[in-house]
Amino acid sequence: MKNVFHKVLLFLTVSVLVFSSLGTAQVSASTPFTDVSSSDKEIIYLYERGFINGTSKTTYSPAAPVTREQAATMIGRALGYDGAPTKTSFPDVKANGYSSGYIQEAVKNGIITGDSDGTFRPLDTMTRGEMAFLLSRAFNLLKTSSVYFTDVKVNTNANSQYTAINKIATFGITNGTGGGKYSPNLAVNRKDFAAFVARGLNPDFRVVFQNAKIEEMTVTTNDLNVRKGPGTNHASIGKVHTGAKVEVYGYNGTWVYGKSGNLTGYISMDYLAKAGEVKRIVVIDPGHGGNDPGAVANGLQEKDVNLDVSKRINTLLQGKGISVLMTRTTDVFISLDDRASFGVRNGADAFVSIHANAAGSSVSGSETFYSASTDQRSADSKQLATFIQNRLYKAMDHPNRGVKDAQFRVINSNPLPAALVELGFLTNSSDAQKLASNTYKDRAAKAVADGIEDYYNWKQSR
């Protein structure tokens, strides 16, 4: 299998090379430059069209920085300007120099501007930031997109450097210098500038921009706005909800710029949790439901008790700033596997299943289960079960049957720290009477909610 796979890979590699050289068309791979190789397709492309010259008869000097007059000349030739030397409005551009005609026409077309002091600085090095202005105007680029570079300050003003860089990245002229950066203050070299001009002229050379994902965060509240800019004064473009993942591309104060679902924009970090950070999003799973009533005794159906107490837990937890995801809020049947995977599918970080017990009529008390194993999840599950149980039996004024290991499916096949709570025995008249009363249902709910809060506080303090 391995050898076959390698052959396939090799074949693919060769095919890509063949097709890409066909795709960029009519590249004869010949320049007189000893410092340009056949893989420098953009330089060859521009040379063959007479848009660029070497720094000597046999050298192109690809690593040398581009001066502002060289840049203006290359762009001018690419756009078909008449480059006949002429007098310009700049005192520091010689009328008889090779670049004067291109500079003058570029100024006339609004592609370049001089300095505020009226000079052009023809021999100064061009930065990547200046290049963005030049190219966005030269190719008349209007479209912007959700492109984001971590080292370019956000300024959505039409004439900002941010907007110019966004336009050329959106068009496929640049994909940055790596790691989510654009490096606006870096000098452009002659090889890169040739690549940028070639990409502006010919779609075959263009690159696909992808925002660099720095990290993934999780939304910890419902109805969280995704905004056009980093602040509540910016318009909302949509909302995200508890458990949603956010692919983070960059930071702006207490805001992140990133993508969640089909929304890309700014989201307040106050409502996002980092990977590994305690999110305080818990699943409350009311056991049974629909055609599965669970235990039935003393006029009570377990599925109803479970749902009633779960709703009370939900209300109490929200008052504590803990987000709750309910597996059901009505009398419906849900499979055990759907319950077990529900939390991880929806971005939660703990799971608590609510049940009531059945046995002989003399047996009473509460107990909480976790699934024992050697991993961290199991250790966390035991803590979660213990924090809940330590409060529950006291609140219910009945026997403490303890924290126990059991391989119930909703907790042992659950990827999250998980506990299964047995509130009391419906088959015991005293327990049943309590679970029928609002007072004890509130007390049970408060005990479970407080236990969950204890767990998160413990988890966060570690």
Residues at the interface with Zn ion (CB under 5 A): 287, 294, 355
Here the tokens at position 203 are 């779609």
For the CA atoms of 176, 218, 154, 122, the dihedral, rounded to the nearest 10 degrees, stands at: -10
- Cα separation of the two ends of the chain: 47
With respect to Zn ion, which residue has the nearer C-beta, 129 or 294? 294
Catalytic residue among 69, 130, 422, 453: 422
Burial class for 19, CB neighbours closer than 10 Å (0-12, 13-18, 19+): exposed
With respect to Zn ion, which residue has the nearer C-beta, 288 or 391? 288
Do 100 and 88 meet the contact criterion of CB atoms below 8 Å apart?
A: yes
With respect to Zn ion, which residue has the nearer C-beta, 135 or 297? 297
Do 269 and 256 meet the contact criterion of CB atoms below 8 Å apart?
A: yes
With respect to Zn ion, which residue has the nearer C-beta, 184 or 294? 294
Do 447 and 391 meet the contact criterion of CB atoms below 8 Å apart?
A: yes
With respect to Zn ion, which residue has the nearer C-beta, 74 or 283? 283
CB of 339 to Zn ion, least distance (A): 12
Report the alpha-carbon angle 170-176-180, nearest 5. 100
With respect to Zn ion, which residue has the nearer C-beta, 359 or 379? 359
Per the annotation, the verdict on 302 as an active-site residue is no
Here the tokens at position 234 are 């910016």
Residues pairing with 172 in the sheet: none
CB of 145 to Zn ion, least distance (A): 52
Pairwise CA distance, residues 135 & 72, whole Å: 10
**DSSP conformational letter for 66:** P
Pairwise CA distance, residues 172 & 35, whole Å: 26
Which ranges in 97-248 belong to alpha helices (H)?
100-108, 128-138, 161-171, 190-201
> What residues contact residue 287 under an 8 Å CB cut-off, 6+ apart?
294, 302, 303, 306, 353, 354, 355, 410, 420
Closest C-alpha to 158, from 142, 134, 175: 142
Report the alpha-carbon angle 171-173-174, nearest 5. 115
What are the catalytic residues? 422
